[in-house]
């Protein structure tokens, strides 16, 4: 496996030979990390000390079989220790943050089994600028612009068919023609406007809804309809109520405190509630390829979280494992939330869209929806949802009217 050069590195090398503006880079395979063979890496890093940091990009030999954004890229120090740290971090995130996503891609996309220890790294000099992603959908190009975190006032990701620089369209067309297949191209536009090509992924085998429908359609002369296309979707739903979850934990803590001195306190009951919720998360995510989360209460109420985390402070041998489990549970919850393509919750609970989540090829057919109600109506809406009897496993419908107001149905 370590002898296979990843698609990401191969395409960058091809573009470099084609005289496209690819930043200087080096591919470091897993075997070099295993053997401590860093001579070429040291030579490369010696040329890029100007900003004291570089970008380490994931480059697993099987990465092309997974959707973009599954594995991470990190800024790190421009020395071998920094690159080793970044690789270890990328592998760790693959085992934790991206674990559920990888499992789901194994099941629903038939992605191959992979050993994360085979992870190679592409190292590039750090370029201060904005991210842009380009791809052709049908017969036209679209350009996705990422937030620029270096600005005090940052903008949300957005998609346009008209790039800020007409040269970006010409470069994209030239790259696709040069590589000979449809691709998703990632750029960094530096502060001085220079366009750097940092990735080109083959998406020729990925179907998009527009293309498949056009192949099976006939143009007629008119229509009468109630709802517009893409203003409706149906999803199985997971109902999340962390207020009730933490109340159950607190009840178990109270049972422990109130037990007779002769009886031994059992923390296992509280830990089992946490483990059961996490198992429910994973089972639901692996049962449905696409799903919605109805957040009656997503962020744990601060008072309840603090009570559960300190209820047994006078029994430190019991409180310590409980606090640790509750802390880990927050991350397990976030991993589950990040796999949903539909979030229904209060308006201050939002999907934090990164570049691939906002406009990557995987979102063309199933863009992320974040459906919300205003905070001042929270109690009213939650009570109404409970009254309607939404339950985990129900199928719901979401209808968006012409004024962009959504209605959620229990089907």
Q: Are strands 369-373 and 342-346 parallel, antiparallel or unpaired?
A: parallel
Residue 43: which pLDDT band, with cuts at 50, 70 and 90? very high
C-alpha 168 chain-centroid distance: 26
pLDDT digits (tens, 9 = 90+) for 20-33: 999 999 999 999 99
Q: pTM higher than 0.75, yes or no?
A: no
What residues make up the domain containing 268? 232-410
SS3 299: coil
Helices (H), 47-114: 80-95, 99-108
Same domain, 366 and 266: yes
Strand boundaries in 171-231, DSSP class E:
183-190, 195-202
Residue of 49, 119, 53 lying closest to 87 (CA atoms): 119
Res 148: pLDDT:
58
Rounded to an integer, the average pLDDT of 340-360 is 76
Res 387: pLDDT:
84
Same domain, 246 and 196: no
Q: Which tokens in the block code for residue 128?
A: 């201060």
On the question of pLDDT at 168 being above 60, the answer is yes
Number of domains composing the chain: 3
Same domain, 145 and 115: no
**Tally of CB atoms within 10 A around 230:** 10
pLDDT digits (tens, 9 = 90+) for 54-64: 999 999 999 99
215 in a structural domain: no
Same domain, 153 and 86: no
Res 299: pLDDT:
83
**Tally of CB atoms within 10 A around 267:** 19
pLDDT digits (tens, 9 = 90+) for 390-401: 899 999 888 887
Tell which of 126, 159, 193 closes a domain: 126
222 in a structural domain: no
SS3 109: coil
* Range of lowest pLDDT (95-99, 154-158, 215-219, 367-371): 215-219
Same domain, 384 and 240: yes
pLDDT digits (tens, 9 = 90+) for 259-273: 755 555 578 888 999
In terms of phi and psi (left: phi > 0; alpha: psi -120 to 50; beta: otherwise), the region of 218 is beta
On the question of pLDDT at 89 being above 70, the answer is yes
**Mean pLDDT estimate for the chain:** 84
Same domain, 38 and 176: no
297 in a structural domain: yes
Rounded to an integer, the average pLDDT of 104-123 is 93
Same domain, 116 and 133: no
CATH number of the domain enclosing 169: 3.30.470.20
CB 349 within 8 A of CB 370: no
* Range of lowest pLDDT (55-59, 255-259, 288-292, 304-308): 255-259
* Range of lowest pLDDT (20-34, 244-258, 351-365, 388-402): 351-365
Residue of 70, 289, 74 lying closest to 201 (CA atoms): 70
Tell which of 126, 141, 166 closes a domain: 126
User: Quick one: the chain helix, strand, coil %, rounded to 5?
Assistant: 40, 20, 35
218 in a structural domain: no
On the question of pLDDT at 277 being above 50, the answer is yes
Tell which of 73, 92, 126 closes a domain: 126
Nearest-5° Cα angle at 369, 368 to 371: 155
What's the Rg (C-alpha) of the chain?
Answer: 25
224 in a structural domain: no
Res 24: pLDDT:
94
CB 82 within 8 A of CB 52: no
* Range of lowest pLDDT (168-177, 203-212, 300-309): 203-212
- Helices and strands (H, E) in the chain, number of each type: 13, 15
Same domain, 140 and 76: no
Res 300: pLDDT:
74
Same domain, 293 and 323: yes
Distance CA 145, CA 33 (A): 34
Residue located via tokens 């799903």: 291
Same domain, 279 and 238: yes
Distance CA 102, CA 95 (A): 9
Same domain, 256 and 353: yes
Residue located via tokens 């970008």: 55
281 in a structural domain: yes
* Range of lowest pLDDT (232-241, 281-290, 331-340, 380-389): 380-389
Same domain, 393 and 382: yes
Residue 364: which pLDDT band, with cuts at 50, 70 and 90? low
Q: Which tokens in the block code for residue 72?
A: 């991470």
In terms of phi and psi (left: phi > 0; alpha: psi -120 to 50; beta: otherwise), the region of 248 is alpha
17 in a structural domain: no
29 in a structural domain: yes
CB 340 within 8 A of CB 293: yes
On the question of pLDDT at 313 being above 50, the answer is yes
């Amino acid at each position: 496996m370590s002898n296979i050069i990843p698609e990401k590195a191969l395409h960058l090398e091809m573009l470099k030979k084609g005289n496209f503006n690819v930043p200087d880079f080096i591919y470091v395979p897993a075997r070099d990390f295993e053997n401590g063979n860093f001579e070429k890496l040291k030579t490369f890093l010696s040329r890029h000390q100007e900003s004291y940091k570089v970008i380490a990009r994931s480059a697993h030999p099987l990465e092309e079989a997974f959707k973009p954004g599954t594995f991470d890229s990190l800024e790190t120090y421009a020395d071998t220790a920094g690159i080793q740290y970044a690789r270890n971090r990328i592998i760790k995130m693959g085992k934790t943050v991206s674990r559920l996503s990888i499992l789901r891609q194994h099941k629903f996309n038939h992605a191959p089994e992979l050993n994360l220890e085979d992870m190679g790294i592409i190292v590039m000099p750090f370029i201060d600028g904005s991210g842009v992603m380009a791809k052709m959908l049908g017969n036209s190009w679209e350009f996705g612009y990422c937030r620029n975190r270096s600005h005090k006032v940052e903008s949300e990701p957005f998609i346009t068919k008209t790039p800020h620089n007409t040269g970006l369209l010409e470069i994209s067309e030239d790259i696709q023609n040069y590589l000979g297949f449809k691709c998703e191209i990632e750029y960094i536009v530096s502060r001085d406007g220079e366009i750097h090509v940092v990735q080109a992924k083959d998406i020729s085998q990925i179907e998009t809804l527009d293309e498949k429908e056009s192949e099976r359609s006939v143009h007629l002369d008119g229509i009468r309809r109630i709802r517009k296309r893409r203003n409706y979707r149906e999803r199985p739903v997971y109902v999340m109520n962390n207020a009730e979850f933490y109340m159950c934990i607190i009840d178990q803590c109270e049972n422990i405190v109130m037990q007779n001195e002769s009886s031994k306190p059992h923390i296992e009951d509280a830990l089992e509630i946490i483990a059961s919720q996490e198992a429910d998360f994973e089972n639901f995510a692996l049962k449905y390829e696409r799903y919605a989360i109805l957040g009656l209460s997503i962020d744990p109420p601060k008072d309840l979280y603090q009570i559960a985390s300190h209820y047994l402070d006078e029994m430190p041998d019991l409180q310590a494992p409980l606090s640790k489990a509750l802390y880990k549970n927050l991350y397990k919850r976030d991993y589950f939330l990040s796999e949903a393509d539909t979030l229904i919750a209060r308006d201050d609970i939002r999907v934090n869209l990164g570049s691939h989540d906002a406009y990557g090829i995987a979102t063309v057919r199933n863009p992320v929806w974040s459906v919300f109600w205003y905070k001042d109506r929270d109690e009213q809406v939650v009570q109404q949802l409970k009254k309607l009897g939404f339950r985990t496993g129900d199928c719901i419908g979401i209808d968006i009217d012409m004024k962009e107001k959504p209605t959620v149905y229990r089907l």
